[in-house]
């Protein structure tokens, strides 16, 4: 999962600010808005019964049970594809089976990469070996676990390089422009880039494109260490001896298994030859702690660094090249290996419609926070709903809990499942909710705008973590923008298991968690263990319990709503805002008037339809024999925003409204194709993307009319 650092390109937050300021639209007073206790999809009578079931659910939630389960799954390092990861998967499956859920194991055969051996030493100006293992600390006994492997970048190329070092700041294209302007040659060198401002894969790819022989990525204390605050064990920030693992896969081609776009990879699936897969880095990449990195950086001379390049290590940084010369020998073990997704279902009265709540179970090391926090909260939700079912409660739609494997190598388990079960998911799933890691901090809600009002209502019904008011109050206190603006869902980018569901399948999607200033100190380190959770991220598991309550109420309401609680009128207004904003993204000519007119028409018709839905639900006229097909049409409106004209290998990211671009890997990028055309000032691409948006909105409008809008 992401450590969301500041985006390099247009940020979603900036966009929604612009939108809020530019758009004077006010929602029409509907039946629901008039009554603050009304809840989308329920009559005043039905919500009373629903709330009573929710209260019974909430009384099942147990901090002891969360803590005990968390301890069980964080005992050993459990990288995807290893026996330890299989054991965690089986623990989850068994537990949920005894909680009364129907469990399934979905095994895929995917390309994974772990280190065979990594050695790095400085040869010049003096010979000095560098430590690729985080030293252990007696404070956290897990840190001396013999199963831990050296720090590494999954999917790094194997190879041996001896070369002088060049410092390239964050390793993004504008950084290289400045290094080159200073007269420093990068070809054949080892570049050294600090973490931050983009996914590590972007840094590797940019280094490869500039002819570097290898790349070292390190955690500079300016971005990820003592300059931010007290470091481990005094505080939550990264200590100078802690490093950050991660995957280096070029996921902008497609997500999931790097060798099988659009196909759920089974043992007998035809897959790409790794030698030709565009998703795999072609140069060796390693990671270092700031302590080890300082040994090299302190030995660079050459030009002084340009503005913005100096980090927080206690000496003036220089670009090099050299005199530091480094020898790297990186031997990776990459092969197709089995992974196991665990899917557990609480069968509804209408078993062929699904509400899906997902998280992952694999971890780079112990997964104390990533993903032990999310796994424990989703497991507790499933366990408690199982207990409720044993008392006689049955949801209307089925509730499906997914525990994905191999998220860390790049959303592999969730993507393979989404690809393998594409038809079924698009027919049956009414929403996908994801959570990953979380810690004490700010409530975060992201996703597709049709679900914003729904999530607002859910969070209004769950007490705040700080004991004051509700989760909604906490969320609202954090929002940006003018005082009277409502909270918005953040646009989802990449970095967690929602991607295939939103961008490939077009399901209404939510991502829900608590964030801590965008990052945390033991992210992808040996020290992301039980100790960190108990001391820093969630002592007492109160965040986990609060989120389990949010998840439970959310999935129960989505399962039981007479008419699904989407608000496409809000979606259409968001789209109008993006279309207006696109004019400010670059100095290019755009003609978005047709799209703007279509979005306005969708807004008008959705609003009228929603008004009718609210009245018919409240009066008890609905549900009737017509609501099943209405619900299906509403659930499929999101899918109309997919452009399915290309093959998955050419166009895996099919959603024309939401996605991300290479430089905003963790943050969402609205109108991603158009934004890319604008960034490249490519007028043919802009014309093509404009047509894709128009066609998507036409499909949505046609379906909305068929739904009665």
What is the contact surface with Zn ion in residues (CB under 5 A)?
1, 370-371, 436
CB of 651 to Zn ion, least distance (A): 26
Nearer to Zn ion, 42 or 523 (CB): 523
Interacting residues of 173 by C-beta distance below 8 A, sequence separation 6+: 206
Are residues 118 and 287 in contact, defined by beta-carbon separation less than 8 angstroms? no
Upstream peptide bond of 356 is cis (omega within 30 degrees of 0): no
- Encoding tokens for residue 691? 């047509």
Separation CA 383–CA 61 (nearest Å): 9
Separation CA 388–CA 60 (nearest Å): 8
- Encoding tokens for residue 96? 């949920």
Residue pointed to by tokens 């062929």: 352
Q: Give the CA distances from residue 187 to residues 153, 209, 216, 547, 662, in Å, rounded to whole numbers and listed in that order.
A: 22, 10, 15, 49, 23
How are beta strands 320-346 and 285-288 bridged, if at all? unpaired
For 391, other C-beta atoms within 10 Å of its C-beta total: 9
DSSP 482: S
CB of 517 to Zn ion, least distance (A): 17
* Residue closest to 254 by CA, chosen among 246, 262, 264, 242: 262
CB of 206 to Zn ion, least distance (A): 24
Nearer to Zn ion, 363 or 674 (CB): 363
Are residues 250 and 279 in contact, defined by beta-carbon separation less than 8 angstroms? yes
CB of 489 to Zn ion, least distance (A): 20
Residue nearest to Zn ion (CB): 1
Nearer to Zn ion, 369 or 582 (CB): 369
Nearer to Zn ion, 370 or 618 (CB): 370
CB of 378 to Zn ion, least distance (A): 12
Are residues 676 and 16 in contact, defined by beta-carbon separation less than 8 angstroms? no
Interacting residues of 354 by C-beta distance below 8 A, sequence separation 6+: 345, 397, 398, 399, 400, 425, 428, 429, 430
CB of 247 to Zn ion, least distance (A): 11
Nearer to Zn ion, 516 or 571 (CB): 516
CB of 528 to Zn ion, least distance (A): 10
Nearer to Zn ion, 408 or 640 (CB): 408
- Helix ranges (DSSP H) in 372-451: 372-390, 412-420, 422-428
Nearer to Zn ion, 175 or 407 (CB): 407
Nearer to Zn ion, 201 or 592 (CB): 201
Nearer to Zn ion, 114 or 331 (CB): 114
Are residues 572 and 708 in contact, defined by beta-carbon separation less than 8 angstroms? no
Nearer to Zn ion, 406 or 489 (CB): 406
How are beta strands 214-218 and 285-288 bridged, if at all? parallel
Residue pointed to by tokens 């399948």: 505
Residue pointed to by tokens 């699936």: 269
CB of 362 to Zn ion, least distance (A): 8
Nearer to Zn ion, 134 or 245 (CB): 245
Check the CA dihedral 187-192-197-198 and report its sign: positive
- Give φ, ψ of 498 to 5 degrees: -75, -15
CB of 231 to Zn ion, least distance (A): 22
CB of 427 to Zn ion, least distance (A): 29
Phi-psi region of 576 (alpha: psi -120 to 50; beta: other; left: phi over 0): alpha
- Helix ranges (DSSP H) in 590-682: 593-619, 627-636, 648-651, 672-679
Nearer to Zn ion, 80 or 324 (CB): 80
Separation CA 274–CA 425 (nearest Å): 29
CB of 436 to Zn ion, least distance (A): 4
Nearer to Zn ion, 514 or 622 (CB): 514
* Residue closest to 32 by CA, chosen among 45, 21, 43: 43
For 27, other C-beta atoms within 10 Å of its C-beta total: 14
Q: Give the CA distances from residue 442 to residues 66, 67, 463, 519, in Å, rounded to whole numbers and listed in that order.
A: 21, 22, 14, 12
CB of 360 to Zn ion, least distance (A): 6
Nearer to Zn ion, 367 or 670 (CB): 367
CB of 368 to Zn ion, least distance (A): 11
Q: Give, for 89, the enclosing helix (H) or strand (E).
A: helix 83-98
CA dihedral of residues 502, 507, 508, 513 (deg, nearest 10): -50
CB of 502 to Zn ion, least distance (A): 17
């Amino acid at each position: 999962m992401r450590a969301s650092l500041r985006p390099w390109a247009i940020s979603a937050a900036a966009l929604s600010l612009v939108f809020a300021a530019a758009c004077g639209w006010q929602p029409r007073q509907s039946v629901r808005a008039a009554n603050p206790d009304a809840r989308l999809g329920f009559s005043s009578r039905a919500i009373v019964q629903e709330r009573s079931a929710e209260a019974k659910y909430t009384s099942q939630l147990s901090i002891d049970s969360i803590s005990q389960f968390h301890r069980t799954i964080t005992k050993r390092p459990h990288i995807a594809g290893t026996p330890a990861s299989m054991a965690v998967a089986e623990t989850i499956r068994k537990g949920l089976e005894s909680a009364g859920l129907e469990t399934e194991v979905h095994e895929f055969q995917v390309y994974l990469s772990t280190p065979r051996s990594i050695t790095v030493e400085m040869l010049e100006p003096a010979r000095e070996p560098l430590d690729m293992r985080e030293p252990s600390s007696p404070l956290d006994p897990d840190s001396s676990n013999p199963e831990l492997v050296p720090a590494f970048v999954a999917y790094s190329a194997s190879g041996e390089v001896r070369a002088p070092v060049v410092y390239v700041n964050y390793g993004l294209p504008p950084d290289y422009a400045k290094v080159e302007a200073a007269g420093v040659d990068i070809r054949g060198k080892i570049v050294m880039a600090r973490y931050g401002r983009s996914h590590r894969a972007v840094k590797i790819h940019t280094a490869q494109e500039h002819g570097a022989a290898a790349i070292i990525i390190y955690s500079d204390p300016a971005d990820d260490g003592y300059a931010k605050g007290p470091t481990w064990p005094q505080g939550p920030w990264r200590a100078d001896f802690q490093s950050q693992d991660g995957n280096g896969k070029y996921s902008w081609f497609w997500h999931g298994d790097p060798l099988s776009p659009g196909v759920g990879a089974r043992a007998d699936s035809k897959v790409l030859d790794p030698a030709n897969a565009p998703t795999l880095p072609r140069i060796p990449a390693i990671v270092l702690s700031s302590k080890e990195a300082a040994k090299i950086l302190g030995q660079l001379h050459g030009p002084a660094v340009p503005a913005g390049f100096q980090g927080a290590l206690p000496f003036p940084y220089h670009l090099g090249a050299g005199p530091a010369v480094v020898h790297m020998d990186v031997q990776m073990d990459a092969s197709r290996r089995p992974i196991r997704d665990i899917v557990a279902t609480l069968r509804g009265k209408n078993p062929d419609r699904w509400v899906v709540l997902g998280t992952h179970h694999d971890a780079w090391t112990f997964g104390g926070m990533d993903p032990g926090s999310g796994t424990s909260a989703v497991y507790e939700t499933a366990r408690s709903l199982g207990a409720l079912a044993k008392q006689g409660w049955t949801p209307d739609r089925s509730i499906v809990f997914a525990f994905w494997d191999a998220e860390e190598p790049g959303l592999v388990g969730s993507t393979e499942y989404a690809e393998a079960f594409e038809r079924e998911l698009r027919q049956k799933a009414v929403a996908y909710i994801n959570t990953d890691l979380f810690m004490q901090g700010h409530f975060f809600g992201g996703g597709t705008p049709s679900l914003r009002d729904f999530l607002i209502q859910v969070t209004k019904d769950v007490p705040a973590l700080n004991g004051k008011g509700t989760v909604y109050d906490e969320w609202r206190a954090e929002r940006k923008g003018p005082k009277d603006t409502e909270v918005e869902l953040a646009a989802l980018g990449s970095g967690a298991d929602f991607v295939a569901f939103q961008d490939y399948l077009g399901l209404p999607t939510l991502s829900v968690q608590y964030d801590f200033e965008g990052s945390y100190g033991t992210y992808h380190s040996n020290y992301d263990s039980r100790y960190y959770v108990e001391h820093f991220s969630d002592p007492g598991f109160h965040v986990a319990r609060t989120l389990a309550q949010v998840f439970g109420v959310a999935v129960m309401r989505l399962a039981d709503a007479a008419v699904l609680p989407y608000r496409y009128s809000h979606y259409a207004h968001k789209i109008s805002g993006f279309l207006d904003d696109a004019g400010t993204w670059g100095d290019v000519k755009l003609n978005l008037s047709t799209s703007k007119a279509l979005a306005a028409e969708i807004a008008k018709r959705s609003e009228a339809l929603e008004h009718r839905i609210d009245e018919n639900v409240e009066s008890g006229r609905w549900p009737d024999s017509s609501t099943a097909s209405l619900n299906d049409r509403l659930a499929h409106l999101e899918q109309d925003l997919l452009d399915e004209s290309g093959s998955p290998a050419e166009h895996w990211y099919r959603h024309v409204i939401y996605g991300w671009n290479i430089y905003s890997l963790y943050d969402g990028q609205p109108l991603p194709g158009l934004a890319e055309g604008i960034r490249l000032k490519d007028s043919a691409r802009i014309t093509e993307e404009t047509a894709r948006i128009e066609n998507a909105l036409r499909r949505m409008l046609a379906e909305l009319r068929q739904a009665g809008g």
